[in-house]
Amino acid sequence: MSLSLLLPPDGVTELLAVWPDEPRVFERGRTALDETVTTGLFDEYIDTGCVPAGEIAVVKAPGPSLNQNAYITRGRTDPVKLRSLYDKGFTLRLGNLQRVIPFLARVSRNIQVETGFSNYVHAFLTPPGNQGLRHHWDQQMAVIVQMSGVKRWQLWQLPVDAPTRAYNESWRVWRDTYIPEWEAAGPDIEIDLRTGQSLLLPRGWVHNPHVADPDEHSVHLTFALRERTPLWLAEKLLEGAIADPGFRRVIRPGDLHGPELTSLVGETRQALVTYLEHLDLTRVTLDVRRAALTEVEYTT
């Protein structure tokens, strides 16, 4: 079980049986993940220039992510520039490791078999006493696996309800008053996540992670689990509607601007109801299960 590489048995049970809505810290210990995905591996990954430029983010709070020109030369990742930025205090986010590291590709696929959830893996390398991303929240459950050093996680409860995909994303609904209010109140939870520990971070929880120790580097992996929702299920129920010619007919431009639009909407709603009432639920269930196990990404 790949989840057991990230969490101890009680953590795996908590995730699969409960799907917690509050942060939880678990003592992971040392697993095959630690033996395979080492700090040395990341050093080599960076210093050989093998990191795809499109999967890199370089950021130092409170500034935004740097433009790619800061770390590429002739269209390719420049390891000297990248290492220099790290030495200047910038956090390096190495994205989608499940696409480039075979071991993590297998872990990612197995997690999807275990959960039915698509997922991805990012690595965050933060220099001593520094910070990359500031306060924000995400749209999926994250399993934070501390590989090296200590990272301090300041956490606040959800400011929005059930963010998912593009809905209620941090930057879409952001208020300038958020950070001053959070900092004035202080975090609801503060965790110093240490090597060998993992943090379950439910979607929507505000987090402000940073390295407090001026002498210690931090490396952590974020396994983001894209939660399936009733909306996703509804989309699967409707996918087969394209086989019905009635749903493929052209809507004339004039019908989108004239008084006929209201009746057209009503007719389409009724057509959808009729379509759904006649679905073969046994077949659809099989299709949905197959999609849960194989659908790697979703779009908004």
Residue 219, in any domain of the structure:
yes
| Same-domain status, 242 and 128 | no
| Same-domain status, 118 and 253 | no
pLDDT digits (tens, 9 = 90+) for 214-255: 999 999 999 999 999 999 999 999 999 999 999 999 999 888
**Residues 230, 233: Cα–Cα separation, whole Å:** 5
5-10, long-range: CB < 8 A, 24+ apart: 5/31, 5/32, 5/33, 5/107, 6/31, 6/33, 6/143, 6/145, 6/198, 6/223, 7/143, 7/198, 7/200
Residue 78, in any domain of the structure:
yes
**Listed residues 227, 247, 264: the one ending a domain:** 227
Cβ(147)–Cβ(195) below 8 Å: yes
What is the extent of the structural domain holding 237? 231-294
pLDDT bin (cut points 50, 70, 90) of residue 299 is low
pLDDT mean over 274-295: 96
| Same-domain status, 147 and 69 | yes
Cβ(217)–Cβ(127) below 8 Å: yes
**pLDDT at residue 40 greater than cutoff 70:** yes
| Same-domain status, 141 and 168 | yes
CATH code for the domain in which residue 70 is found: 2.60.120.650
With a CB cutoff of 8 Å and minimum separation 6, the contacts of 27 are: 8, 196, 197
| Same-domain status, 164 and 235 | no
pLDDT mean over 186-207: 98
Residue 19, in any domain of the structure:
yes
Tokens of 234: 């509804």
**pLDDT at residue 257 greater than cutoff 90:** no
Mean pLDDT in the chain? 95
What's the pLDDT at 267? 95
**Residues 194, 147: Cα–Cα separation, whole Å:** 8
What's the pLDDT at 65? 96
| Same-domain status, 112 and 47 | yes
**pLDDT at residue 23 greater than cutoff 90:** yes
pLDDT bin (cut points 50, 70, 90) of residue 182 is very high
**Listed residues 204, 227, 250: the one ending a domain:** 227
pLDDT mean over 96-119: 97
Q: Classify burial at 217, counting beta carbons within 10 Å of its beta carbon; exposed 0-12, middle 13-18, buried 19 or more.
A: middle
| Same-domain status, 236 and 219 | no
| Same-domain status, 100 and 245 | no
| Same-domain status, 194 and 67 | yes
**Listed residues 227, 255, 282: the one ending a domain:** 227
Residue 299, in any domain of the structure:
no
Q: Is the pTM of this model over 0.75?
A: yes
pLDDT mean over 95-117: 97
pLDDT bin (cut points 50, 70, 90) of residue 175 is very high
| Same-domain status, 10 and 129 | yes
| Same-domain status, 280 and 163 | no
The total of structural domains in the chain comes to: 2
| Same-domain status, 162 and 249 | no
Residue 300, in any domain of the structure:
no
Residue 146, in any domain of the structure:
yes
pLDDT bin (cut points 50, 70, 90) of residue 300 is very low
